[in-house]
Amino acid sequence: MEHNLDKTYTASESLIEQATPSAPSGCPPWGAAKRGGGAEHTRSVAFHTHPLFQPYLEILLRENAKYNLTAITDPEEIRQKHFADSLALLDDAPCPVPQGASLLDVGSGGGFPGVPLKLARPDVALTLLEATGKKAEFLKALCEELGIEAAVMNARAEQAAHDPAQREQYDVVVARAVAALPMLCELCLPFVRPGGVFAAYKGPKEKAVIELETAGGAIALLGGALEHVHGETTGYGGRTRIMIRKISQTPTNYPRNHGIMRKKPL
Ligand code: SAM
């Protein structure tokens, strides 16, 4: 299977160092309007150091022990591995997040990648889905403290996806570090409206491509089609986003229950 891989940077360079003066044809650069249009040529990923992210950083550091949100506790690593990694989607071309898109983050944990995407793109209608009650409670408090509008659902994806109010309702679904790709597709593709897109955030692209080889059957069965694999190497390792377009409705019997998904992955 051939994949269209792009944005391969040298291993020694971080995402922020890669902020080039010429924007690719991804989403409109974040903050351009806020700063009077002067930032049209800065990539979105560079905004992980913007002061708007400072309160989020402080809340994570303050609440981490209570909610077990992240193993990373160094502020610069949080900026890179959580904020910049989440924002990278907004630099992918063509822009995967249309203006005013409804966006669902499945297994959001400490809010990644959904919350940085919302901070960068306030036009997006964000929903965070999280199975663990305590983490969902954190996400609600986080959004309130950050002053961002978002719906937080405390539910398992395999159950919520059968709710007609949720099924095939989202323009964009994102997930990071939740499950291997075949199971992840079963959890996430049912939420995507036909025509919409699922972005699976993964690690190094070599590994992601191998994972993708195992998921071809699941993607087709669930109504998806592989559109693109965006990958880059950063100072903190390889990062990949597997973009899957929803081209037809997902059969109603998916997702299956958790035990069956684990025992018999698609
Ligand atoms: N996405 C976040 C990130 O990248 O930092 C959190 C990743 S954490 C390793 C996985 C999260 O997914 C956990 O918070 C877990 O509770 C949640 N999760 C796992 N399976 C889920 C499911 N079936 N439905 C909803 N949430 C799920």
Residue nearest to atom 6 of ligand 1 (CA): 109
Global pTM reads 0.89
How does residue 5 score in pLDDT terms, banded at 50, 70 and 90?
very low
Closest C-alpha residue for ligand 1 atom 11: 107
The b/e string for 34-44 (b: 16+ C-beta within 10 A; e otherwise) is eeeeebeebbb
- Of 47, 86, 60, 49, nearest to 141 by C-alpha is 60
**pLDDT digits over 146-201, tens only?**
999 999 999 999 999 999 999 999 999 999 999 999 999 999 999 999 999 999 99
Q: Omega of the bond prior to 55 within 30 degrees of 0, cis?
A: no
Strand spans (E) along the chain? 5-6, 102-106, 125-130, 150-154, 170-176, 192-202, 224-234, 237-246
Widest Cα–Cα separation across the chain = 54
What separation in Å is there between the alpha carbon of 24 and the centre of ligand 1?
31
Reading the block at residue 211, the tokens are: 């994972």
Under 8 Å between Cβ of 226 and 242: yes
* Cβ contact 121:90 at 8 Å: yes
Q: 76 Cβ partners below 8 Å, 6+ apart? A: none
190 lines ligand 1 (CB under 6 A): no
Q: How far apart are CA 194 and CA 170, in angstroms?
A: 9
Find out whether the beta carbon of 91 lies less than 6 Å from any atom of ligand 1. Answer: no
pLDDT at 42: 58
Residues of the chain above pLDDT 90, percent: 76
Contact 178 CB / ligand 1 (< 6 Å): yes
Alpha-carbon torsion, ordered 109, 55, 171, 39, to 10 deg: -140
Q: Set out the domains of the chain in order of their start, with CATH numbers.
A: 5-17+95-263 (3.40.50.150)
Which residue did the predictor score with more confidence, 174 or 73?
Answer: 174
Please return the burial class of 93, using the count of CB atoms within 10 Å of its CB with bins 0-12, 13-18 and 19+. Answer: middle
Counting from 1 in the atom list of ligand 1, the atom nearest the Cα of 82 is: 5
193 close to 246: Cβ distance less than 8 angstroms: yes
Q: Is 96's C-beta closer than 6 angstroms to any atom of ligand 1?
A: no
Ligand 1 center–CA 157 separation, angstroms:
10
Which amino acid, 228? H
**H-type helices in 2-132, by residue range?**
54-67, 75-78, 85-87, 114-120
User: Per-residue confidence at 39, pLDDT binned at 50, 70, 90?
Assistant: very low
Q: Is the CB of 205 under 6 A from ligand 1?
A: no
Phi, psi of 14 (to 5 degrees): -85, 170
**Which residue did the predictor score with more confidence, 9 or 223?**
223
HSE value, Cβ hemisphere, 13 Å, CA-based, for 89: 32
Ligand 1 mean position, distance from CA 131 (Å) = 7
Q: Indicate the pLDDT class of residue 123, thresholds 50, 70 and 90.
A: very high
Which mutation among 178, 189, 201, 261 tests ligand 1's pocket best, with the greatest number of atoms within 8 A of CB?
A: 178
Model confidence at 43: pLDDT above 90: no
CA 264 – CA 266 distance, rounded (Å): 6
